[in-house]
Amino acid sequence: MTFYFSEAMPDNYKQFLKNDAAQTDFSSYSRKQRSADFAKAFGGNFKELEARMHRFYQELKQPGR
């Protein structure tokens, strides 16, 4: 995922990492909040994100198609 985000969505990924780094060390970070932060950065339609990632990696395997 890191490679995909850095290649396909670098601005979103940078902001996501900045927000993550801003979390207080060893603070509680619930699953619900992590999911909301991820959706805020990359969109809430996880099936669509998965499909885009799949296409991206398929194109890497088969350049020029």
Q: Report how far residue 65's alpha carbon sits from residue 60's, in angstroms, rounded to the nearest whole number.
A: 10
Please report the pLDDT score of residue 25 as a whole number. Answer: 85
Please report the pLDDT score of residue 64 as a whole number. Answer: 65
- Tokens 């990632």 map to which residue? 53
Report residue 7's pLDDT band, with 50, 70 and 90 as the boundaries: very high
Report residue 63's pLDDT band, with 50, 70 and 90 as the boundaries: low
pLDDT per residue as tens digits for the range 11-51: 999 999 999 999 888 888 899 999 999 999 999 999 999 99
